[in-house]
């Protein structure tokens, strides 16, 4: 399972992000950042019995580089039977989460997600017709 910054999809790019697996299981235990130009990599593991979902790449506003953004994922902690939303700075994967938001319920590991910038959401028919909260209050 791997992702790139979608701004460079279809173009030469330097960075790719993949997941590490629990041996013998299809459980994702962490992330690896691959520098495909110089052949190096760096990684982060979420810890014992903590399993993540495939990450999405969320670029910062006005990014300065290809890796200027976040890897976003859900992490399920089987030790505590909890789940959280996690953001990792894609420029420094080894540093671990820069944001952790506890979810009200445990979710299964492997939950899929994607990243969509707010500017695109605001153009959607759903946002315009069904949204109960105005964008200024989010």
pLDDT tens-digit profile of 68-125?
999 999 999 999 999 999 999 999 999 999 999 999 999 987 777 777 777 777 887 7
Residue 57 CA neighbour count, 13 Å, CB half: 25
* Residue from 55, 60, 59, 57 nearest 74 by CA: 55
Provide the pLDDT for residue 39: 97
User: Do the Cβ atoms of 15 and 40 come closer than 8 Å?
Assistant: no
pLDDT cut 70: percent of the chain above it: 93
Q: Which helix (H) or strand (E) holds 127?
A: helix 125-130
Provide the pLDDT for residue 132: 58
Tens digits of residue pLDDT in 20-31: 999 999 999 999
3-state secondary structure of 64: coil
- The whole-model pTM stands at 0.84
């Amino acid at each position: 399972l791997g992702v790139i910054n979608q701004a460079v999809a279809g173009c030469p790019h330097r960075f790719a992000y993949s997941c590490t697996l629990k041996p013998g299981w299809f459980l994702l235990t962490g992330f690896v950042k691959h520098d495909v130009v110089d052949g190096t990599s760096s990684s982060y593991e979420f810890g014992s019995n903590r399993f993540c979902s495939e990450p999405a790449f969320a670029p910062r506003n006005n990014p300065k580089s290809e890796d200027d953004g976040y890897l976003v994922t859900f992490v399920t902690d089987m030790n505590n039977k909890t789940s959280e939303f996690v953001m990792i700075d894609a420029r420094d994967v080894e540093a671990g989460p820069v944001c952790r938001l506890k979810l009200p319920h445990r979710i299964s590991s492997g939950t899929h997600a994607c990243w969509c910038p707010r500017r695109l959401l605001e153009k959607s028919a759903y946002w315009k017709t069904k949204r109960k909260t105005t964008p200024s209050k989010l």
